[in-house]
Amino acid sequence: MLTGQKIEFNYKDNNYKGIFISSDDEKTTVKLDNGYNITVRNENIKIKNVYGNGKKREDIKIKSIEKHGKNNVCILTTGGTIGSSIDYETGAVKPVKDISYLYNYVNNIDDYHLSHKNIDNILSENVNPEKWINFARKAKEKMDNNNSVIIFHGTDTMQYSASALSFMFEEQTNPIIFTGSQRSSDRPSSDAFTNIEGSIHFSSTDIGEVGVAMHSGISDNNISLHRGVRVRKMHTSERSAFKTVDDSEIAVYNNKNIIFNSEYKSTGKNNILNDKLNDNVSLIYFYPGIKDEDFYNTVYNKDAVIIMGTGLGHVSDSIIKTIKKLSKDVHFFMTSQCIYGGVNLNVYSTGRELLKANVIPLYDMLAETAMVKAMYLLANYNDSFVNLMKTNLRGEINNRILW
Amino acid sequence: MLTGQKIEFNYKDNNYKGIFISSDDEKTTVKLDNGYNITVRNENIKIKNVYGNGKKREDIKIKSIEKHGKNNVCILTTGGTIGSSIDYETGAVKPVKDISYLYNYVNNIDDYHLSHKNIDNILSENVNPEKWINFARKAKEKMDNNNSVIIFHGTDTMQYSASALSFMFEEQTNPIIFTGSQRSSDRPSSDAFTNIEGSIHFSSTDIGEVGVAMHSGISDNNISLHRGVRVRKMHTSERSAFKTVDDSEIAVYNNKNIIFNSEYKSTGKNNILNDKLNDNVSLIYFYPGIKDEDFYNTVYNKDAVIIMGTGLGHVSDSIIKTIKKLSKDVHFFMTSQCIYGGVNLNVYSTGRELLKANVIPLYDMLAETAMVKAMYLLANYNDSFVNLMKTNLRGEINNRILW
Amino acid sequence: MVIDMKIGLEIHFQLKGNKLFCSCSTEGEKTDFIIERKMTPVMSELGKIDNAVKYEQMRDRTFVYYSSDNSCLVEKDEEPPHDVDYEALKTAVVLSMALHCKIVDYVSFMRKIVIDGSNTSGFQRTGVIGMDGYIKTSKGNVRISAVTLEEDAARKIREDIDRAEYSLDRLGIPLVEISTEPDIIDQEHALETAKAIGYLVMSTYKFRGEVDSIRQDVNFSMGYGRVEIKGVSRLSFIRDTIDYEVTRQMSLKEISDILKIKGSEISDFNDITYLFKNTESSMIKKAIKTGKSVFSAMITNVNHLMKYGNYHLGKEFADVARNMGIGGMMHSDEFPGYGISDDELNSVYKLLSRGDNDSIIIVLTYKNNIGALAGLLRLRLNKIINMDLAETRAATEKGETKYLRPLPGRERMYPETDIPLFEINKSLLDEANNLIPETMEEAKLNLNNKYKLSTVESDAVINNSLYSTFVKLIKIYNEPKTVARLLLQTVPELEKKYNSKIGNENLIKILNIAKNNGWDRSNIEKALEIFTVKKININELIKMDELKSLSDEEIREIINKLIINNSINEKNIIPSFKKETNSTFNAKKVIEMYKKLKNTH
Amino acid sequence: MVIDMKIGLEIHFQLKGNKLFCSCSTEGEKTDFIIERKMTPVMSELGKIDNAVKYEQMRDRTFVYYSSDNSCLVEKDEEPPHDVDYEALKTAVVLSMALHCKIVDYVSFMRKIVIDGSNTSGFQRTGVIGMDGYIKTSKGNVRISAVTLEEDAARKIREDIDRAEYSLDRLGIPLVEISTEPDIIDQEHALETAKAIGYLVMSTYKFRGEVDSIRQDVNFSMGYGRVEIKGVSRLSFIRDTIDYEVTRQMSLKEISDILKIKGSEISDFNDITYLFKNTESSMIKKAIKTGKSVFSAMITNVNHLMKYGNYHLGKEFADVARNMGIGGMMHSDEFPGYGISDDELNSVYKLLSRGDNDSIIIVLTYKNNIGALAGLLRLRLNKIINMDLAETRAATEKGETKYLRPLPGRERMYPETDIPLFEINKSLLDEANNLIPETMEEAKLNLNNKYKLSTVESDAVINNSLYSTFVKLIKIYNEPKTVARLLLQTVPELEKKYNSKIGNENLIKILNIAKNNGWDRSNIEKALEIFTVKKININELIKMDELKSLSDEEIREIINKLIINNSINEKNIIPSFKKETNSTFNAKKVIEMYKKLKNTH
């Protein structure tokens, strides 16, 4: 049977009509005429009649793009919750072919000329450095053609991708705004629509940086623009999961207004993209009882290792010994698993030992950002690698933590 | 020369008196009569006279213990910032031999009969499962002798130790309160004194759990008591670094009053301690670009692996493949690197694949707590290991996340 | 006139315990923490937007949610739902069995789109548990089409034109919906069916039993389309509501017959505020003062139909307007009135070129709000002319009905992918099988035979849904007659007299005290009255002078007195003892003490 | 009488730019965000608690800190200090060099314990940069004992007995402390030395130059112990303060001589509130009404000494009390007074058995506060009798001094382990060497020879610390006489007249405009006055009618007119032109245009 075909069937001695949805070895799912799906064991159901060819999804009428304004914005979809819809029959997530239906739901949309390009279709946990290069190149193409860029991206690794593009673009002519949704866009309560609304507005500013636009709080009123290198997903499920860590957000969008909360780099005249990455970098989380050999095996052949140490940036004495053995060949950098606050290796003897072992403290750089930054610098600035790691390039090091 | 000896010396043609502090191959440090230390290159200093035998530290008068009240509280010091003092001459951290000087600084101290035992002297980044067993046995000894127990501990891994003791004690006759300080107790602004004050008060309740008592905010007014299995150090340096994640704190201490914010387990009649741990457990942080072979090498020989996945608890497809290969021999558990919020493997296809690969989601259990819990259960309840991992034993799984 | 009615019921029962998809309790109160949300209409799996959903979209309201102490991130739509609550699911299976339904092998929860804000997610989660059962009634079996298990909606606190406020305390409470086929033949039959179903549910130990725990929807048709009447609040209103709807539809049929011949059209709205610059109508003056404008439109050929017969056409239009947040529609059948002068009326009539058969309607509202009204009124007029009255209506507190929204279609249902299929396995079925409640007939037999209640008493217990309470109380205080009287008479009378609920739990506590202190019916009634009036802690009751039990010393004294008077034996000691005192006492103790004391004399 | 005075100075200069141990700016304002802290006395590396620290411990106050927009976690003591600010360190090296000091090879920062709350950490970070230098004065070289670099304290906003409030805006500003040996021989010499040092600091480009940027402490002794006088706010007060202290110590010496013979003792305090139940003293009535009590103690043998000669013993005791938060001490030398009746006085005297030579003191305070007072007064009395007056005193706004706290010892210094040793290497020394400012003598020569100022003008520029400003302004507007007049006369007069600061930056802006628009001195003075009065945006000045420059057209017109009159050549064009207009003009342009135009005629 085909999904969508009408069927007549018998279940536990009663006859029913419905639409066939799916079946596997054990069970069959049918949509009844009242709209409910029921799932029953195959041994309990007898199909008596099948007709029709399966019904295709009818597309909803969309606003005409031609009506829209002069601000060119290109939405690049990469997959993830926001740019995808669920196929209710198979449960699979598919990219939305034509996202223009979204236009119906976004305020103030008529000021923009939107275009759309599907550049990938993956859940963001599968995004990797190779994908970042692709995203960056596609973004450059669009900016070269006078577009601001919004990237629909799964929220799981959005912060890593935003960091990657932040570093890879040395200069950019337009804003690049990552956005996503924590509630899928197939539900009325989705945060996608307001996140998109905010993103579109941010995309018309002169911010020459890579940002992440997501809900500020769990209400639908404010959308925050976070600096790509300073944002972290801090909650598994809330709309407001994304937080700028140890710094101010770039801006907040509220009811067609943008309020800037911190300084930002303005758009430049050219798009300068360094699209090389060296992914021979490890990010490793220290914990009591971690095995020296596990640590050694993970790091010995790497070009750079980002350690998420405890507190101000510490690891056990035995790990320090291992680091000392390797630090001629491997660059070690220290961040903290505390997430908030800076590392400081001057305060305790462990820190001073780490400094002696050539471990470089990265102050308040996020561990995830440090990992991406190392990939970027190793590939493009190998000669001044360590020095540039310690230097603030895109706002990833904030020398003033205010709270 | 000995530290503390008086010296006369010449520096750049001027003569000075002072006290010798220290020297190494390059430089010498001297305390001048005005109290300042100066450090000079060895080639610029000429020692002309040395006398005396070095001055010993004079101990301050302490309050007599005999005066104190009837509530028996034993403070176990393990090292760390709070139970140590810096040796200004060498820069080394040493355990305080007699912590009773602290009594001078703690309000309401006369209601308690304090005793003190130094059970270790390490920076907490060097604490490991073997140490936890020692801490637990010492705590039991003291509780068996009718003492409440306060454990002075370095803040870096305090949450891990508190989790370990939480699990190892199935029943306890007295509260066990971990406390520490973010500012060392040798400075007037140290948080140690108010943390101790709060801890002593918490120790006189009927809380039959293991808690962590630290500053609630960056002011000195409130001390929070966190459940050991739900607390996380969330800031590298602030007094208020410790936060209860996704739950309410047990209690708050303010000006001699304790306000309870959540239910707790009362003290029991016996001290039941399971003092075995199996440390063949890994905690691993997933990130885009993580190498399959690194993942494999770290986990293939473990009894249990705690994964800090992205978002609701995801990893890339290629890691899932590796997990599928190993999951007959290795138990995999999923937590989230978002820190806040629960994992849920029902929502996305990646999650459902992980379930198929036998990965067990741990809802809102902290990754660090999960790691410790696995060590505990593997050693003591190997038969019902997986089932107990999913079961709330000490408040480590909170089925209601309120904000 | 015999009307061929088809009536179906959908009855919703709240279950107590935990919420359906999280670990929050069903009991709790709202807090002051609020969140604000928007809802966006989305497509179903078949790519359509439901009519009811489109209607809400047009209203474009902001929704405010007050958190409650029994809500967590799940109710805030900030976390995926947890696994379905096992107890609630089991209860739904029990009821499906009691109603002779086929139980599904797996429960698939669906999302039913509702964007009036009553669900933070924008949908209600609901799953079929049983299908195709029946319930016996005096007029034959009424078929049960489905037993579904769903989450209750948020509780509406207030709403206005651009904003609705809800509390999250009710959101997520498990709700068993039992829907019948349209086999019910009249008002009385509907009432009987509702009672029979309600009886079954209330007999399960998971029934919540608070105010508002039962909500009844009536599906009604008499040939002019199906009308779904939401929220009939009390059993007895089922009858009133159907009566009202019959009258309404019959009246509209007459109007339709007239208009089909004459035809009728509605003009656009004109801003006629300027005509009322010097009006003496206080209502209009006040509206203009608050920034509203006066709008008017003409409906041709409905003069004298707006106020016609038993039901008024004007009400149909006013309902549509009120639903848009525009209250107080006036029409020319009511003029002169509202303080509007003849001059003003004439200038309006002139402006709109009103003919003698035409009606003028006037509304007072803000300019922003008038947009869609004319179109909606035309839709309504056409529905009436064509007598296609199918729609969702709301039951009112007066037993009437009012327009709510278009009927929803199956487009608003799609699978809840966050919740895995739940298999109803044999162990669950076995568990459920042991919990099937007695039917009403079985219960009546029990009351008559086992507890020796009269038929009148038995019927009263059953009809007032007091059977399970009765059984529970009997286990504490084994005096069936007394307990029946308390439930049927004492408690309702006291509650009415003092306008204060006593509550089952308090009744249980008092009966426990009564048992331990040897209280008789009059003591209990006295205690209940004191408790109701003074609202003291129940444990204080025994200390009241009126209710204080005699101390051992006092009992001994009285017995001694009785023994000395030589008039008593073991059989008459208690009545004799009672005559001697107004205080309460433990009869067992009196007898024991008497046995001891008689030997000492 | 010749007094053998020993005077030393410690002068603190704020540097601008970043704070010393974080990246916050030195400029910013307080916010409303507060934190509350306690301070705990701790032991030094030698295991002692400093006396000054013990004194603060006894007061046990709560400290409140207002955050500022120029503070971060470092100022809140919530994060370890960052590396030392390189610019500040370099400036300290520059000054050490200018003062001929030996520079240390490595800077070791120390923690200097201060628990009056003025540092959130409980200590001030400070490090020696240079030692053993000197500065030339007219009375010989004054040796410089040390140049240290330290962080400024938090700014006190208010304080009372159990609470002090600070703003964090000032905390952490780099402070160069220059301390001299006690080589200064008298008041005038102190003034001269302070000026010479100040001159050097102000000549560095990093000097902050705001109100309160310089704070002077005076170390003074005349044989009765070293008195450290904190916070002499103005240069001229150095003299007054020393005068006051000389008078004080001489008077106390006389009193001491008397009391050494007679002896003197202080009783405990008695609560004598009950004696004042019906008092007519409004002061005492008010105190009792606010919950205070009346306490009294007796000091034997000091009658008529409490108010004695030029300086009053009573003030010594009152200072101690005020420092404890107990203001308004009364003593019997002042009675009758304060509305206290003879009867009341007599009953107090009787109660305390006052003899004719004894003095009674009365204080009004809360019962909790009286505890330590008698003990502290006894300590004070003994200090005076033994003439060991060493202590820390505060300079007042009136040029007097008052008791602050005991002298601190070296116990309060221990190493700051959070900051690594900072090596002063050759490259830093070379950099610094190039930045050493001219000495005062060099500057005077410059003014006389290079800029042709008169000796009077030169001295005035130097003495008013205007040299570096003068040099800066000359680079913009190269008219030394005009600039000198502006600095010495115009600006101070305008500032005084309108009570409004003009500020160097504004002066620079105006001179830039003057240069570009060919303004002369009178134009500039006009502009300054308009700016001071109207406080308009400086760029608006050129648009004012009074200051508007002539347009090209207007210039051409005037030149044409002059040329036609045939009376001008290149040399007299400017004066001639000036006569023709009151507006300002660019002289260069006039000359150029004249050259062009003269040929066209």
Contact state of C80 with B400 under an 8 Å Cβ cutoff: no
Q: Show Cβ contacts of residue A118 under 8 Å, excluding neighbours closer than 6 positions.
A: A76, A77, A83, A95, A97
Contact A226, A264 (CB under 8 A): no
Q: How far apart are CA C590 and CA C595, in angstroms?
A: 9
* D93 pLDDT higher than 70: yes
A186–C123 C-beta distance less than 8 A: no
Same domain, D197 and D291: no
Supply the DSSP string of C560-587, one letter for each residue: HHHHHTT---TTTHHHHHHHH-SSB--H
Q: Are residues D72 and D206 in the same domain?
A: yes
Residue C102 and residue C222 in one domain: yes
Work out the angle at residue C197's Cα, subtended by the Cα atoms of residues C196 and C198, and round it to the nearest 5 degrees: 90
Mean pLDDT of D208-216: 84
Q: Establish whether B265 is a catalytic residue.
A: no
The minimum CA-CA distance between A42 and chain B, rounded to whole Å, is 22
Question: How far is residue C124's CA from residue D345's CA, in Å, rounded to a whole number?
Answer: 85
C425 part of contact set with chain A, CB < 8 Å: no
Q: Count other C-beta atoms under 10 Å from residue B382's C-beta.
A: 11
Given CA atoms C263, C269, C275, C280 in this order, what sign does their dihedral have? positive
- Judge if D448 and D580 occupy the same domain: no
Instruction: For residue D73, list chain A residues with Cβ-Cβ distance below 8 A.
Output: 341, 401-403
User: Would you call B168 helix, strand, or coil by DSSP?
Assistant: helix
Q: Does C108 touch chain B (CB under 8 A)?
A: no
Give the tokens for residue B383.
Answer: 């038969």
Distances (CA, A) of B272 to A109, B75, B375, B381: 66, 20, 18, 15
The reply to whether C90 falls in a domain is yes
Number of separate domains in chain D? 4
CB count in 10 Å sphere of residue C463: 13
pLDDT band at A61 (very low <50, low <70, confident <90, very high): very low
Instruction: Determine whether B93 is exposed, middle or buried from the number of CB atoms within 10 Å of its CB (0-12, 13-18, 19+).
Output: buried
Whether C258 maps to a domain, the answer reads: no
Residue with tokens 């006279």: B49
Give Dmax (Cα) for chain A.
80
Nearest to C412 by CA among C9, C49, C16: C49
Interface test with A, best of B123, B124, B130, B156 (most A CBs within 10 A): B156
Cβ-Cβ contacts under 8 Å between A and C: the total is 131
- Please confirm, yes or no, whether A310 is among the known catalytic residues: no
Q: Residue C579: how many CB atoms within 10 A of its CB?
A: 8
So what's the pLDDT on residue C323? 82
Arithmetic mean of pLDDT, B313-330: 96
Amino acid at C258: I
User: Catalytic pick from A111, A156, A220, A279?
Assistant: A156
DSSP state of D268: P
* DSSP element (H, E) containing A198: helix A192-202
In a domain, C31, yes or no: yes
Give dist(CA B240, CA D79) in Å, integer: 12
Higher pLDDT, B92 or B269: B269
| Residue D163 near residue D64 (C-beta atoms within 8 A) | yes
User: Quick check: is A233 catalytic?
Assistant: yes
Q: Give B229 to chain A, closest Cα distance, Å.
A: 15
Q: Are D452 and D328 within one domain?
A: no
pLDDT score of C411? 59
Please give the interface size between A and B, counted as residue pairs whose CB atoms are below 8 Å apart: 173
Residue C427 domain flag: no
Residue type at C398? K
Nearest to A400 among D72, D417, D420 (CB): D72
Identify whether the C-beta of residue C248 lies closer than 8 Å to the C-beta of residue C401: yes
C584/C543 same-domain check: no
Q: Give the residue on C whose Cα is nearest the Cα of A105.
A: C40
Q: How far is CA D427 from CA B27, B316, D129, D424, D430, in A?
A: 19, 52, 16, 8, 5
> CA A287 to CA A284: how far, in whole Å?
10
What are the E-state strand segments in D529-587?
none
Asked if the Cβ–Cβ distance from D37 to B32 is below 8 Å, we say no
Test B346 with C73 for CB contact under 8 angstroms: no
Task: Name the most confidently modeled range: B109-118, C394-403, D322-331.
Answer: C394-403
The answer to whether the Cβ–Cβ distance between B339 and A339 falls below 8 Å is yes
Cα D124 from Cα D21, distance rounded (Å): 11
Q: What are phi and psi of B24, to 5 degrees?
A: -135, -160
Q: Is pLDDT above 80 for D45?
A: no
Q: Where are the alpha helices (DSSP H) in A124-180?
A: 129-144, 158-168
D95 pLDDT more than 60: yes
The single residue of A28, A77, A78, A155 carrying the catalytic annotation is A155
Query: Are residues C37 and C103 part of one domain?
Result: yes
The total of other beta-carbon atoms located within 10 Å of residue B252's CB is: 19
Map residue D69 onto helix, strand or coil. Answer: coil
Q: Answer yes or no: do D220 and D301 share one domain.
A: no
Give the nearest partner residue to B236 out of A157, A283, A342, using CB atoms. Answer: A342
Asked if pLDDT for residue B80 goes beyond 90, the answer is: no
Peptide bond preceding C336: is omega within 30 degrees of 0, i.e. cis?
A: yes
Query: Is residue C488 classed as helix, strand or coil in its secondary structure?
Result: helix
Q: How far apart are CA D74 and CA D51, in angstroms?
A: 27
Out of A29, A183, A239, closest to residue C108 by CB: A29
Of the candidates B120, B156, B246, B364, the residue annotated as catalytic is: B156
D194: which residues sit within 8 A by CB, 6+ positions away? D9, D11, D216, D235, D238
Indicate which CATH number applies to the domain containing D371.
3.30.1360.30
- pTM value? 0.85
Chain B residue with CA closest to C83: the answer is B346
For residue D530, pLDDT beyond 60: yes
Cβ atoms of D304 and D335 within 8 Å: the answer is no
Question: C66 with C180, same domain?
Answer: yes
User: Under a CB-based contact definition with an 8 Å cutoff, are residues C301 and C294 in contact?
Assistant: no
Residue C434, in any domain of the structure = no
State both tokens at C255.
């109007």
For the cut 80, the answer to whether the pLDDT of residue B70 exceeds it is: no
Per the model's pLDDT, the better-predicted residue between A183 and B376 turns out to be B376
Q: Is B350 helix (H, G, I), strand (E, B) or coil?
A: helix
Cis peptide before C182 (omega within 30 of 0): no
Instruction: Choose between C92 and D522: higher pLDDT.
Output: C92
* Unique residue bearing structure tokens 């503070």: D71
Tokens standing for residue D344 = 């009341």
Q: Say if the Cβ atoms of D113 and B188 lie within 8 Å.
A: yes
User: CA nearest A340 in D: which residue?
Assistant: D79
**CB neighbours of residue D213 within 10 Å:** 19
Give the highest mean pLDDT range of A262-276, C435-449, D483-497: A262-276
Name chain B contacts of C79, Cβ cutoff 8 Å: 341-342, 344, 401
Tokens representing B308 are: 């800090």
What is the C-alpha to C-alpha distance for residues C387 and C252, in angstroms, rounded to an integer? Answer: 8
Q: What is the pLDDT of residue C395?
A: 93
Choose between D486 and C54: higher pLDDT. D486
Q: What residues in A contact D417, CB-CB < 8 Å?
A: 347
Cβ separation A188–C77 shorter than 8 A: no
pLDDT at A99 over 90: no
Are D417 and A312 inside 8 Å of each other by CB?
no
CB contact under 8 Å between A220 and C417, yes or no, is no
Residues C322 and C404: beta-carbon distance below 8 Å? no
Whole-angstrom distance, CA of residue B212 vs CA of residue B202: 10
* Neighbour count for residue D186 (Cβ, 10 Å): 14
Residue D153 sits in the same domain as residue D16: yes
Interface touch C79/B347, C-beta < 8 Å: no
Task: Identify the CA nearest to B348 among candidates C151, C80, C72, C20.
Answer: C80
At B97, the pLDDT band (50, 70, 90 cuts) reads low
Whether residue D327 is contained in a domain is answered as yes
Against chain A, the chains showing at least 3 CB pairs within 8 Å are B, C, D
Q: In whole angstroms, what separates CA C193 from the centre of its chain?
A: 16
| Residue B243 annotated as catalytic | no
Q: For C393, list phi and psi in degrees, rounded to 5.
A: -120, 160
Mean pLDDT, chain B, as a whole number?
A: 90
Q: Tokens 């690891």 map to which residue?
A: A315
pLDDT at D481 exceeding the cut of 60: yes
CB contacts, 8 Å: D59 with chain B: none
Chosen for mutation from D78, D102, D126 (greatest number of chain B CBs closer than 10 Å) is: D78
Residue C194 belongs to some domain of the structure: yes
Low-confidence ranges of chain C (pLDDT < 70): 1, 42-59, 409-411, 566, 601
What confidence category does residue D541 fall into, taking pLDDT thresholds of 50, 70 and 90? confident
Kindly report, residue by residue over D368-409, the tens digit of the pLDDT: 778 778 888 999 999 999 999 999 999 998 889 999 888 876
Considering only CB atoms, which chain B residues are within 8 Å of A344? 236-237
Q: Name the CA dihedral angle for A248, A251, A252, A256, rounded to a multiple of 10 degrees.
A: 170
CB pairs under 8 A between B and D: 131
Q: How confident is the model at residue D64 (pLDDT cuts 50, 70, 90)?
A: very high
Burial of C570 (0-12, 13-18, 19+ CB in 10 A): exposed
Distance CA D468, CA D200 (A): 10
Distance CA C32, CA C24 (A): 18
For the question of an ipTM over 0.85, the answer is no
Does residue D190 lie in a domain region?
Answer: yes
DSSP state, residue D490:
I
CB pair distance less than 8 Å for D105 and B40:
yes
Closest approach of B99 to chain D, Cα-based (Å): 13
Task: Residue C31: give the domain boundaries.
Answer: 6-226+409-415
Return d(Cα A151, Cα A78) in angstroms, integer.
Answer: 7
Point out the residue among B123, B283, B342 whose CB comes nearest to the CB of A348. Answer: B123
Question: Do D63 and D168 reside in the same domain of the chain?
Answer: yes
Domains of chain A: 6-55 (2.30.30.520), 60-273 (3.40.50.1170), 281-389 (3.40.50.40)
The answer to whether residues C15 and C76 belong to one domain is yes
